[in-house]
Amino acid sequence: MPKIVDHEHRRRLVAKVVLDTIAAVGPERTTLREIARRGGFSHTSLHHYFRNLDDVLGFAYEYLTDTVVTRMQEQAAALDGGGPRLYAALDSACPYRFGIGAVTTLAFWVQTVSGKRAARTQRLAYGVLRRSIRQFIEEARIEGHIATQIDTDELVELSVIFLDGLCVAASLEKRACGRRRQVQLLDAFFEATFRPVHGPFHKPPQRE
């Protein structure tokens, strides 16, 4: 019988190699040839799954977004109450949670300036992220866990802007914005923006 190949699994493996490659050699030296070398793929096999480098990077960015959103949902599902779930969701999207993904995000943002396809990919990814954050904000409001008077649409945008800014700081100022500092900033942002009603929330376990 012919061997059954899980093409989507192969594409996800390539996405992981892309993240590792960007972290190891930087975005400017991340080429199809370098990705193939580090992943043990043939150059030809990459072209079987992706048209060009932009296609590879775009898929890697989508993979990273899906990974972050999945982690947000899983962390939140393990907690009771809208407030704790909202905090856990934002914490799960902090750069210290996805490490080298923060650098990949910055690299992809550069592409969105001049690339229509990259810009479209980013809009779709942000749409997924915004919908997830909105879900947790609305739950926290309904359950009376946050007392903010800020409109939900604005809360979503403020949350995305905060996470993006944290991503930049964590990538460019690694020593000054490590894990502990990111958590401190998230706590301050959460307290000032959402005004939690029931005091400090149970936070998910932290890891590097």
| Structural domain includes residue 116 | yes
| Structural domain includes residue 168 | yes
For 135-155, the pLDDT digits (tens) are: 999 999 999 999 999 999 999
| Structural domain includes residue 117 | yes
| Structural domain includes residue 200 | no
Bridge partners of 146, per DSSP, are: 196
Which whole-number Å values give the CA distances from 11 to 25, 58, 101, in the listed order?
21, 12, 17
3-class secondary structure, 196: strand
What is the pLDDT at residue 208? 40
Q: What one-letter code names the amino acid at 183?
A: V
| Structural domain includes residue 137 | yes
What is the pLDDT at residue 182? 93
- Which stretches of the chain drop beneath a pLDDT of 50? 1-4, 206-208
Three-state SS for 32-90 is: HHHHHHHHCCCHHHHHHHCCCHHHHHHHHHHHHHHHHHHHHHHHHHCCCCHHHHHHHHH
Orientation of helix 82-92 relative to helix 152-172, angle to 10°: 30
Residues 132/175, Cβ–Cβ less than 8 Å: no
Structural domain count of the chain:
1
Q: What is the dihedral of CA 40, 42, 48, 49, to 10 degrees?
A: 20
127: Cβ contacts below 8 Å, ≥ 6 apart: none
| Structural domain includes residue 23 | yes
Q: What one-letter code names the amino acid at 33?
A: R
What residue has token string 């932290």? 206
CA-nearest of 72, 96, 98, 97 to 85 is: 72
What residue has token string 């493996």? 13
Alpha carbons within 13 angstroms on the beta-carbon side of residue 194 total 35
Separation of alpha carbons 71 and 88, rounded Å: 10
Q: List the structure tokens of 49.
A: 């799954």
DSSP state of 29: G
Task: Residue 66: give its domain's CATH number.
Answer: 1.10.357.10
Alpha helices in 101-198 (DSSP H): 101-114, 116-142, 152-172, 179-194
What is the pLDDT at residue 205? 54
Domain that holds residue 150: 7-194
Question: What is the end-to-end Cα distance of the chain in Å, rounded?
Answer: 45
| Structural domain includes residue 201 | no
| Structural domain includes residue 203 | no
